[in-house]
Amino acid sequence: MFSIGEMSRRTGVKVPTIRFYEEKGLLPQPGRTAGNQRRYDDTALKRLNFIRHARELGLPLDDISELISLEGAEGGELDRAHSIAQNQRQRIRERIAKLKKLERELTRISTACDGDHDHVCDVLRALGDHGGCDGDH
C-alpha cells in the first residue's frame, strides 16, 4: 500500500493532481487508514501511470476516462480506443502545422530587423502591420 506522497514520487504526478483525478473519477477513491490517510494499491499505481502517460500524449481527460472505461473490453468495443488514438494524432498534426506557421512568421519578423535602431523597429512595425499569423508570408 502506498501513501499519496509515495504515489506522487513513483509517478511524478503532483499530489493535488492525484486528488483532482480522484475527484474526476479517473482514479478510484482510495482506502483510508484509521488516521484518515489515503492508501493506494498496485492497481491504483498502474492506473495513475496510465493517466500520466496519456496526459503526456496530450489526451484530454474525457478521452482518458473513456479509455479507462474500456478496460477489460473485447472485440469491436476496442475500436473506440483506436479511434481516440487516431483523433489525438490528427490534433497533434494540426498543432504542428500551426506551430510551423508561427515559426515562419517569427522568422519573417525577426529577419525584418536590420539592427539599426535609429528608426522605428522593423519587428514592432511587422507586428503592427500583421495582427495575426496566416502563414502566407
Domain endpoint, select from 69, 103, 118: 69
What's the distance, Cα to Cα, between the start and end of the chain in Å? Answer: 58
In a domain, 110, yes or no: yes
Comparing 73-77, 91-95, 107-111, the range with the smallest average pLDDT is 107-111
Distance CA 41, CA 3 (A): 9
pLDDT at res. 133: 47
Comparing 12-26, 28-42, 109-123, the range with the smallest average pLDDT is 109-123
- Short-list 124, 122, 102, CA closest to 113: 122
In a domain, 99, yes or no: yes
Report the predicted TM-score, pTM, of the whole model to 2 decimal places.
0.74
Structurally, the chain folds into a number of domains equal to 2
C-alpha cell at 113: 530587423
CB-CB neighbours of 21 under 10 Å: 22
Q: Is 99 exposed, middle or buried (0-12, 13-18, 19+ CB in 10 A)?
A: exposed
Q: Are residues 56 and 87 in the same domain?
A: no
Give the residue numbers spanning the domain of 89: 81-129
Does the pLDDT at position 137 exceed 60? no
